[in-house]
Amino acid sequence: MAAPKSSTRGHPGRALVFITVVIAALYGIMFATGDTTPRLGIDLAGGTSVTLKAKPDAGGSKSAVNAENMNTAVQIIRDRVNAFGVSEAEVQTQGSEHIVINIPKGKGEAEAAKQVGQTAKLYFRPVLQTEYQPDTPPTTPATTPPASTPPASNPPQGQGAATTPPSASPPATTPAATGTGAAKATATATASAKATGTATAKPQSRVIPDLKQDTPSPTPPAANTPGAPATTPPPIDMTQPVTPPSSNGAGADLTKYGVTPELQAQFTALNCADPAQRGVGNQTDPTKPTVACSAKPQNGTYEKYILGPAAIDGTDLSSSNAQLPTGPGQIGGWEVALKFDGTGTDKFTKITGDLAEGQYPTNRFAVELDGVVVVAPTVSTELPGGQAVITGDFSQKEAKNLANVLKYGALPLSFEMSEVSKVSAALGSDQLRGGLIAGAIGLFLVALYSIMYYRGLGVVSLVSLAISGLLTYAIMCLLGRGIGFALNLPAVCGAIAAIGITADSFIVYFERIRDEVREGKSLQPAVARAWPRARRTILVSDFVSFLAAAVLYWVSVGKVKGFAFTLGLTTLLDVVVVFLFTKPLMVILARKKFFASGHPWSGLDPARLGAKRPLAYRATRRPRANVEPKEA
C-alpha cells in the first residue's frame, strides 16, 4: 500500500506532476473510449434484478452445487434471457451459490425476468391419474386462447367438441373407452402426417367439465359445469375423460408405480386453485411418484396429476424448437419439436412405447418443470428416433415460450429466488439524484467545517478531496468497461461515507503538523517531521479500513458488494492522494510566506496554536522523552 517515498522526498513537485499526469491520462482514456459516466446499476437506471440461490437436490447432496454446474447454469440462464432480445443483460455468479441476473430496462425485460424465475429442473414423467379443478371464481378465462384455429391434426375432434355442449356429452361420462379410441385416432393421424414419423402430443387445452376434486366418478358432469365452457375454445381432443373413472380403472395399477395411499390422499386433498398449494418451485424427487398441478389454468380449469417416477431427465433433451407444421397438408397452429440425445432417445422410445399401450390418462407424459406440469401431451404410439412434436393450438408466442422452457429448463441445478426487484427508471433517477444531493450537502458541510477549523489547511484538505473525487470518478467510469463495475445505490452511499474517511487522513496529518508547530518548530521542519508519524497512522488505519471493505466484499452478495467495492477503492485512493498530493503540496506550501509566517488564516498561526515560542525560535528544550518523534 505504501506509495513510493522517494518521489515525495525532496522533490515534491515531481509527485504533483506525476499525479496530474495520471489524472490527465485517466480522463484521456475516459473521453477516448466514451465512458464519461459510470455504468449505472439496475437500482439507479431502472430494470429488474434477480438473485437466485442454488439449492441442493431434494434427495441429492450439496456437492452438486459446484463451480462447473454454476457456470453451466449461468450460461443457460444467459441464453434464456438473451432469447428475449434483452440487451446487455448481466448474468453472473456471486460467491459459490448465487447467481445474480440484472436485466436492464427495456425490451423483453418483463418476460425475461419471468423466464429467469422459472429456472428449474425438467422431468418427463408418465401421467398416472389426473383430475380437473376449476380455478377460483373471478379468474375465468382471461387466458383463454382465441378459438380461431382448430388444431390441424384432428379436425373431426374439433368439430365434435365444438358441437358438443361441454360436459353434457355422453363421451365425457364414458371416459375409458372413448378416451382410448380418440387418442389412438389422433396418434395415427399425426404420425402419418409427420414426415419425421414423430408423434403427437396434445396440450391440455380441452373442454373440461368442472369437477370438484372429491366428486365421485358417477356424478353427472353437467350438474357442476357452470357456464364457463360456453366460451371455451374448440377442444382439440375428444378424449375428454374426466378422471375419476380412469382412476377406478387404474387404481390397481398405480401401486405398482409406487403410489402410496398417502400420495393418493395428498392427491385428493390437493387444490390447484390455491396458489400456495400449486407448488411452483417445489422440488420433487425424480425417482418417486409425485403429485403436481398444471402450471396455468386452461379455460379456467387446473388439472392435477399423479405422476410416475421421471422417465427422462431434462438434460437428455438436446433441442427444442418452435415451428410451424412442416408436413404436407398441415395447417394450423405452432408446434414444438423435440430432439433427444442418445440416452434420451432410448428412454423416450421406451416410455412412449409403454405409454402408447396405456389408456387415458396413462397414455400421457407430463413435462414437469419446477414442480408444475407445463404440458402433458398424449402419446399414441411408440416414438423411436429421438424426435417428437408437441402439437396443439399454440400461438407463436406460446410455442416459443414452451420451446425455451424445454430447452433452457434443463439446468444442472435447481434454484430458488432469493430476491427480485423491479425498479422503474423514475425511481432509479430519484435515488441517484438523492444520492448526489446528499453527497453535495455532505461535501459542503465537511468543507465548511474544515475551513472554519483549519482555515488555510482546510483549503488544502478540500483540494485533496477534490483530487480524490476526480480519481474515484474516473476509475468508476473506466471500471464499468473494465470489470463490469456498475454504480448502484449502496456504492453511492459508500462513496459519500468515504468523504469523511478520506478527510480524516488529512486531519491526522494536519494535527501532526500543528503539534510540531506547538513544539515551537518553524513550518518547514514541522511539515517534514510530522510526516513520518502521520504516515504511519494513516497507513495503519487505512489498512484496517481496507481490510473491513475487503472482507465485506468477499462475503457479501448483491448490492452490498457495490458498497464494499467503493469503500475499498476510496480507501486505496486516499492513500494515493495523501502520499502523492497532500503531502507534497504541504511541503511546497510550507515554503510560502502565507503559511510559513503563520498567517492567521493559514490555520498554522503559532499564537493561535499556542506554540511555546515564536516560530523563528528553534526549540532548545529537549522534547519529552516519550513523545520523541521518530522516523518510522
Partner 1 sequence: MAGLSSLRTIGHRLYTGEVEYDFVGRKKKWYALSALILILAVGGLLGRGLSQGIEFKGGAVYTVNQGGISVAQAHEAIEEFRGEHEPIIQKVGKEQVRIQIASKDTGKFNEIRDALSAKLGVPADKVDAELVGPSWGKEISNKALQGLLIFMVLVTIYLAVAFEWRMAIAALVALVHDIVITIGVYALVGFEVTPGTVIGLLTILGYSLYDTVVVFDTVKETTRGITKQNKMTFSEAANRGLNQTLVRSINTSVVALLPVASLLFVGGGLLGAGMLKDIALSLFVGLAAGAFSSIFIATPLYADLKERTPEMRALAKRVEQHRAAQAKAAARGEAGDAAEASDAPADGDADDQDGDDGEPAGAGSAGSGGIRRQPARNRRAGRPSGKRKH
Our CB check for partner 1 shows the closer of 53 and 121 to be 53
Question: Residue 309 has what DSSP assignment?
Answer: S
Cα–Cα distance for residue pair 144/398, rounded to 1 Å = 12
Residue among 31, 543, 601, 617 that touches partner 1 (CB under 8 A):
543
Cα–Cα distance for residue pair 551/202, rounded to 1 Å = 55
Residue among 204, 450, 464, 582 that touches partner 1 (CB under 8 A):
450
Cα–Cα distance for residue pair 473/132, rounded to 1 Å = 60
Stretch 153-172 residues interacting with partner 1 (CB under 8 A): none
Select from 4, 563, 325, 25 the least CA-distant residue to 571: 563
Residue among 11, 14, 481, 612 that touches partner 1 (CB under 8 A):
612
> Least distance from C-beta 320 to partner 1, angstroms?
22
Our CB check for partner 1 shows the closer of 308 and 562 to be 562
> Least distance from C-beta 113 to partner 1, angstroms?
7
**CB neighbour list of residue 44: distance below 8 Å, 6 or more residues apart:** 428, 429, 431, 432, 487, 488, 489, 492
- Looking at residue 196, its amino acid is T
Q: What is the arrangement of strands in the sheet containing 334-340, beginning at the earlier edge strand? A: 317-323, 334-340, 387-394
Binding of partner 1 by 1 (CB under 8 A): no
Indicate the length of the chain as a whole number: 632
> Least distance from C-beta 13 to partner 1, angstroms?
29
Binding of partner 1 by 439 (CB under 8 A): yes
Binding segment (CB under 8 A) for partner 1, from list 57-65, 341-349, 396-404, 537-545: 537-545
Cα–Cα distance for residue pair 495/562, rounded to 1 Å = 10
Binding of partner 1 by 419 (CB under 8 A): yes
Binding of partner 1 by 114 (CB under 8 A): yes
Residue among 67, 195, 426, 616 that touches partner 1 (CB under 8 A):
426
Stretch 590-609 residues interacting with partner 1 (CB under 8 A): 608-609
Residue among 1, 21, 230, 438 that touches partner 1 (CB under 8 A):
438
Binding of partner 1 by 441 (CB under 8 A): yes
Our CB check for partner 1 shows the closer of 180 and 602 to be 602
CB 229 within 8 A of CB 208: yes
**CB neighbour list of residue 23: distance below 8 Å, 6 or more residues apart:** 467, 470, 471, 474
For the chain, first and last CA: distance in Å? 15
Binding of partner 1 by 470 (CB under 8 A): no
Cα–Cα distance for residue pair 46/101, rounded to 1 Å = 14
> Least distance from C-beta 93 to partner 1, angstroms?
15
x/- binding map, residues 553-572, to partner 1, per CB under 8 A? Answer: -xxxxxxx--xx--x-----
Residue among 113, 122, 375, 411 that touches partner 1 (CB under 8 A):
113
Stretch 115-154 residues interacting with partner 1 (CB under 8 A): 117, 138
State the CB neighbour count (10 A cutoff) for residue 418.
Answer: 15
Binding segment (CB under 8 A) for partner 1, from list 215-223, 313-321, 395-403, 447-455: 447-455
Burial of 540 (0-12, 13-18, 19+ CB in 10 A): exposed
Binding of partner 1 by 501 (CB under 8 A): yes
Compute CA 630 distance to the chain's CA centroid, rounded to the nearest angstrom. 54
Residues that contact partner 1, how many (by CB under 8 A):
93
Stretch 388-417 residues interacting with partner 1 (CB under 8 A): 416-417
Cα–Cα distance for residue pair 584/595, rounded to 1 Å = 14
Binding segment (CB under 8 A) for partner 1, from list 161-169, 305-313, 535-543, 577-585: 535-543
Burial of 163 (0-12, 13-18, 19+ CB in 10 A): exposed
- H-helix segments, 83-154: 109-117
x/- binding map, residues 236-275, to partner 1, per CB under 8 A? Answer: ---------------------------------------x
Stretch 275-294 residues interacting with partner 1 (CB under 8 A): 275-276, 278, 280-281
> Least distance from C-beta 555 to partner 1, angstroms?
4
Secondary structure element (H or E) that encloses residue 388, with its range: strand 387-394
Stretch 304-343 residues interacting with partner 1 (CB under 8 A): none
Residue among 17, 22, 168, 443 that touches partner 1 (CB under 8 A):
443
CB 361 within 8 A of CB 237: no
CB 92 within 8 A of CB 124: no
> Least distance from C-beta 63 to partner 1, angstroms?
20
> Least distance from C-beta 44 to partner 1, angstroms?
11
- Looking at residue 607, its amino acid is A
